Structure 1
Amino acid sequence: MNKRVAVIRGGRSKERDISLKTGKAVYEALETEGVDVIALDPEEENFYQQLTTEEIDVAFIALHGRYGEDGTIQGLFEMMDIPYTGSGVLASSLAMDKIISKKLFQQEGVLTPEFKVISRNNWDQQAEKLLTELKIELDLPVVVKPALEGSSLGLSIIKKRENLATAVDTAFEYDNEVLVEKYIAGKEITIGILGNQDLSVLPIIEIKPKTGAYDFEAKYTKGMTEFVIPAQLEEEIYNQAQKIANKAYRVLKCSGMARADLIVSKEGKPYVLEVNTIPGMTETSLLPQAAQAAGIDFPELVLEILEYAVK
């Protein structure tokens, strides 16, 4: 690629360390391919000055979480007329907000687990009333998580009613809205998607955490999770899961790349949990693993994502 590329990594979210790893892997892959590449961090004091003086042709966004995955940095690049990887402002914002995205899935016929939303203000004023309503409307177990965080930060799986209040309080440490979602027992899978208009749905990965919950520790501790690719699903269910992931991608108006996380229930129904518009991009991350299974090596994947940005 005959363009000057800036890898944007680091940032100020709680996922900064993960972002630095993604950025390092992307930078090294581009350097190996002979691309003119620099690395920039939005937390550096001269970040904006560097954007204006480095004559950047395209930005590879390797930021996870707030300010990088929620449409914020995308808006800056739109204003500066700098092409960038991944989804645009609207899609990034929609996908980052688990509550809004689930409401859109429901409206568009994309199967997603039943859920309730709690705001911090209502919780502070009437916690006991809300707990009673939750216990009536959603059978245990439930999944409790903040609306706007990634990497399973603040997530709890609750099987006992007496633990529900603590889980909600924990989730409020990360955001002002909390999602309480019906727990679907089954196989956890993830599906990578590449493209803008003509989409490539990658082989499905089955996620098998040894603790039973794919939380922050299971995601980022070596040996805590087994990944099976392709996922061990009946052909009809496998195809259905890919189709529903494709639809979720289009409903949110994603572009470039994304990774949809789903649960396949014991009855064989695929439920969409969320869509990640900037998934991890080290060579051992899930999207690159799926691409590798499709015959796309890591440097080739990075270059392909850049091409979607330029288009």
Structure 2
Amino acid sequence: MTKKMSLGLVFGGASSEYEVSLLSVTSVLNQIDREKYDIHRIGITKDGAMFYYTGEDSRIAENKWQGEGCVPCVLSPDRTHHGILVLEGTPRVIRLDCVFPVLHGKNGEDGTIQGLLTMAGIPFVGCGTLASAACMDKVTTHTMLDKAGVLGAKWRSVTQHEYARDNDAFLNEVEHALGYPCFVKPANAGSSVGITKAHDRAELTDAMTLALSHDSKVIVEEMITGLEVECAVLGNEEPIASCIGEIAPSNEFYDYNAKYLDGKSVTYIPARIGEKESEEIRRIAAHAYTIMGCRGFSRVDFFLCENGEILLNEINTIPGFTSISMYPQLFIESGIPYSELIDRLIGYAME
């Protein structure tokens, strides 16, 4: 009998996307092949406390996992441990062959846990430390892709220190270079958290205050009119791109509420676009994935403009993995079932 792989699934996190992680990891637990993996669930609270969880899977999605069935633990950076230390009585080591960080947003998708796992010498699913951090930071992503000739929206950025020193100068520059409406975003945040569509100076000023409450750096982008489309990418040195999905957001833009709460946004898989446009989006997605140094998986989001221009919006290195999330749905449509997708991701991690 083949020995099962010891797999750590990390969920939750000190992030504004904590609740989404709970749904994503529940879907992974429901779909993963239990004959192949000895699963160890590691939960992180919103306060950053880490626990080894032995309770029912169903309690995770309901956010009732904390308490009974939880024992404090730490992901050890000591390579001789190669896993977690469970802090119950005499600490004991659980060795992990691989870790799947099913985390979204800050402290999960930004290179932090990836750096810890790299120190520990434990293979993990998804992008490494540098690619995770670079893709999480929208200013860094724009800078790298602009340099490589990948088209995106016009943008301007400012740090909290620079804005406090002369906010009028930055607001004037935005109005001159980008005009209204424009989108104000924290440079480092996921799932459209802290994003505002500003229509005038007053809204722009309020939007800056909101964005700076989420991050010390802000990016402002021009308004793009076009279809919102997405492509899932899978692999390491020779990534493959899925079919294209299209989003018709329920709100004025595809914000956190439209993505996860109101359930009214409509997705089309495959997207209602021509084959020529689909192939070009797939090509750019794989190209951008390679430029940014991505591995394992990422979802690449675009705007398809009325004039046919394709503009890259952002790259998500740990995209939503719920049963209705775009990433798994795109590969299901492309012929890779959810459970096989998990196997492939773990295989790419072990490479």
Instruction: Report if aligned partners of 2:184, 2:221 keep a CA contact under 8 Å in 1.
Output: yes
Q: Does 1:104 align with 2:144?
A: yes
Q: Does 1:309 align with 2:349?
A: yes
- The aligned residue for residue 135 of structure 1 is 175
Q: Distance in 2 between matches of 1:12 and 1:188?
A: 29
Deviations 1:208-245 (A, max 9, x none): 01223100100002432100011111222221111111
Q: Distance in 2 between matches of 1:160 and 1:124?
A: 20
Residues 248-257 or 238-247, more deviating: 238-247
Alignment of 1:255-274 (within 5 A): 255-274=295-314
- The aligned residue for residue 22 of structure 2 is 20
Deviation at 1:136, TM superposition (A): 1.1
Q: Distance in 1 between matches of 2:36 and 2:262?
A: 31
Q: Cα gap change, 1:89/1:238 in structure 2, threshold over 3 Å: closer, same or farther? A: same
Instruction: Report if aligned partners of 2:4, 2:35 keep a CA contact under 8 Å in 1.
Output: no
Q: Distance in 2 between matches of 1:71 and 1:169?
A: 26
Give 1 or 2: higher helix fraction.
1
Tell me the SS of whatever aligns to 1:67: coil
TM-score (norm 2): 0.85
- The aligned residue for residue 3 of structure 1 is 5
TM-score (norm 1): 0.96
Alignment of 1:172-191 (within 5 A): 172-191=212-231
| 2:235 alignment partner, one of 191, 195, 199 | 195
Q: Does 1:146 align with 2:186?
A: yes
Deviations 1:78-136 (A, max 9, x none): 11110000011111111111100100000001101110002111222222222122111
Alignment of 1:230-245 (within 5 A): 230-245=270-285
Q: Distance in 2 between matches of 1:222 and 1:292?
A: 24
- The aligned residue for residue 36 of structure 1 is 38
Deviation at 1:160, TM superposition (A): 2.8
Q: Distance in 1 between matches of 2:21 and 2:153?
A: 29
| 2:116 alignment partner, one of 76, 96, 115 | 76
Deviations 1:250-280 (A, max 9, x none): 1101001000011111111111111000001
Q: Cα gap change, 1:26/1:33 in structure 2, threshold over 3 Å: closer, same or farther? A: farther
- The aligned residue for residue 46 of structure 1 is 73
Q: Distance in 1 between matches of 2:201 and 2:247?
A: 27
AA at the equivalent of 1:51: I
Deviations 1:3-56 (A, max 9, x none): 110001111111111112212221232255552111102422422366141111
Q: Distance in 2 between matches of 1:232 and 1:301?
A: 25
Tell me the SS of whatever aligns to 1:41: strand
Supply the RMSD in Å over aligned alpha carbons.
1.5
Identity of aligned residues (%): 33
Give 1 or 2: higher strand fraction.
2
Tell me the SS of whatever aligns to 1:51: strand
Structure 1 gaps, min length 5 = none
Residues 289-298 or 157-166, more deviating: 157-166
Spell out structure 1 runs of 4+ moving beyond 4 A: 31-34
- The aligned residue for residue 93 of structure 1 is 133
Structure 2 gaps, min length 5 = 51-71, 77-82, 86-92
Q: Which has the larger radius of gyration?
A: 2
Deviations 1:156-195 (A, max 9, x none): 1122333111111111110001000011100001110000
Instruction: Report if aligned partners of 1:30, 1:37 keep a CA contact under 8 Å in 2.
Output: no
Greater relative contact order structure (CA < 8 Å, 6+ sep): 1
- The aligned residue for residue 58 of structure 2 is none
Tell me the SS of whatever aligns to 1:75: helix
- The aligned residue for residue 164 of structure 2 is 124
Q: Distance in 2 between matches of 1:29 and 1:231?
A: 25
Q: Distance in 1 between matches of 2:123 and 2:272?
A: 38
AA at the equivalent of 2:248: K
Q: Cα gap change, 1:289/1:222 in structure 2, threshold over 3 Å: closer, same or farther? A: farther
Instruction: Report if aligned partners of 1:33, 1:299 keep a CA contact under 8 Å in 2.
Output: no
| 2:324 alignment partner, one of 275, 284, 288 | 284
